A and B are shown apart, each in its own frame.
Chain A
Amino acid sequence: MGFLHRHRGLTPYLLLAPGMLWLSIFFLVPLGFLAYQSLQSGSIDFGYAFTWAWGNYWDAIRSYRGQFERSILYAGIATVLALVLSYPVAYWIAFRGGRWKNLLLLFIVAPFFVTYLIRTLAWETILSDNGLVVRTLDHLHLLGVLGSNGRVLSTATAVVAGITYNFLPFMALPLYVSLEQIDQSLIEAAQDLYASKWKAFLRVTLPLSLPGVVAGTLLTFIPAAGDFINAQLLGSPKNHMIGNVIESKYKELLDYPAAASMSFVLMATILAAVLIYARAVGTEKLTG
């Protein structure tokens, strides 16, 4: 410890070094390799070579525009649904949870403890052709709107439902954290000043919970946009997202440059969105 005493300025760097080196070598460097690979051309049989093949990006966007658009659309709808569904519950736990808060939060994250793929397969059972959901929708004459050919499985509805469910905790938790931090006396003050409860919510609670809304939106939208499991297990090829294309290019077709350029387009779109959010909210708030 004598060494540390003499070089106190070094201590933080020594603490950081192992973790940051790991993230640099196995996260940042691979992103560089991904960029490099995305500009290669050739074939798996004759090998790929770096040729500044910007055309890969053009091909990715032109050939798979539908999948890109579907990724953004499905992820967007799922994010809005998750926000609308979980805000009231996050509010309820934060303001009415009392001593049960931690237990209720455990309920919120409970789905995470069932393997992702298994809980998605469970939705296959729930949404199955003769299941309760399909019959209820049929009664309500909604099956024609939400399903197709009398089915919910293999439709966009099933994929969006799966994505919404699978990423709900990512939305609910940040919402809860931001709502929980709100100083109750601010809301009481608004009501003392003759704001109705509804108005106090709109003018005080909602704006103060916005950081949670932003964080939850990002944490839900980002993994949802890159997801391929829900589209694979609950949808049909017509519902495939860009993640499905990247997966098959990498794992089945071994077309690495195409897959890399697509990953990069996806990553760049998302990064741009994150930076815009970071600008608006401030990085400290965003990174906790």
Chain B
Amino acid sequence: MTTVEATLPAPRSRLGPLARAWAFARHHLLSLYSLLFFAYLLLPIGVVIAFSFNNPKGRFNYTWQGFTFKNWSQWNGVPGLTSALWLSLEIALVASLVATVLGTLVALALVRYRFRGRGATNLLVFLPLSTPEIVLGASLLTLFLQVKFALGFISILIAHIMFCISFAVVTVKARLIGFDRHLEEAAMDLGANEWTTFQKVTLPLIAPAILAALLLCFAISIDDFVVTYFNAGNRVTFPIFVWGAARVATPPQINVIGTAIFVVAVTAMLGNVILQRRREVRA
């Protein structure tokens, strides 16, 4: 492996230019490799964005045919695509809100209190993360079929909240662990009761983590295909629309929406990164 950078040989004037170039490359091998890695990671994203400007002649948008703004100006010109997007957004908004609240409460209990059943709680939080999505989707579908629960908006929502909770718990827990309890004790010493302390001290301090959990849950929810596919009945979310399209025809508007989601998500995450850095600088 090349992870360990070789030390530069002591500067010797007799070193030829070739040897010096080799020494330079060796020293920066890891950085060079990392740049290549990032290029690889971002390549498909570049393709997605580029092909949102493609002007495909046939039904599929897999080969480059020419540049156009048409897909962007007529982003809602594909039947079913807009309603699928709205459904995804609605589900993601509600699911991420509910899951973040539930997950934050669980994280507070896990970090703040010693109680019987802590290990079991940790396990129950961890298990959904370590279960393949197809099993999550299939088992939930089995439940809905057995109790004859009609599939649709509510069943999708239930599923999304279920797989988002664990992510919210893990995110908020990480922040709570590095949290100075003395601040809360100080507030209590100064006469604040538990609720006031929570509102005025705890909540503002863990707010960035809650926001991060919210964004994460939203991103996971809007991206989910497998679990949704099993539990959506005849409702069509954006990923389900893409799945159906991949079999018959892929309109470039899919790439337009994909690009838009990417830009919004990256902006939100960048905002969170900057916000956290400002807080750290101030603290």
Contacts and interface: CB of A to CB of B under 8 A. Distances in A.
A13 B126 CA distance: 18
B42 to A, nearest CB: 6
A23 B261 contact: no
Interface string A109-145: 1111111111101111110101000000000000000
Given A106-B269, A116-B225, A126-B47, A33 B109 contact: no
A26 interface: yes
Interface residues of A, number: 93
B158 interface: yes
Contacts of B250: 121
A267 B194 contact: no
Contact of A223 (B123, B133, B146): B133
B131 A251 contact: no
Interface stretch (B16-24, B66-74, B135-143): B135-143
Interface in A75-95: 85-89, 91-93
B198 to A, nearest CB: 10
B273 A122 contact: no
Contacts, number: 260
Chain B interface SS verdict (over half) = helix
Given A27-B128, A30-B143, A86 B138 contact: no
Contacts of A24: 124
Contacts of B115: 9, 12-13
20 contacts: A23-B125, A26-B162, A30-B139, A33-B139, A87-B1, A89-B38, A91-B30, A106-B270, A113-B262, A118-B48, A121-B250, A125-B62, A130-B63, A226-B132, A226-B135, A228-B134, A228-B226, A266-B134, A267-B132, A284-B122
Interface of B: 1-7, 30-31, 33-34, 37-38, 40-45, 47-48, 51, 62-63, 101-103, 105-106, 108-109, 112-113, 115, 119, 121-136, 138-143, 145-146, 158-159, 161-162, 165-166, 169-170, 173-174, 193-195, 219, 222-223, 225-226, 229-230, 238-239, 242-243, 246, 250, 254-255, 258, 261-262, 265-266, 269-270, 273, 276-277
Given A19-B103, A92-B31, A223-B132, 9 more contacts: A9-B115, A16-B121, A23-B125, A27-B162, A31-B135, A109-B269, A113-B261, A119-B48, A283-B126
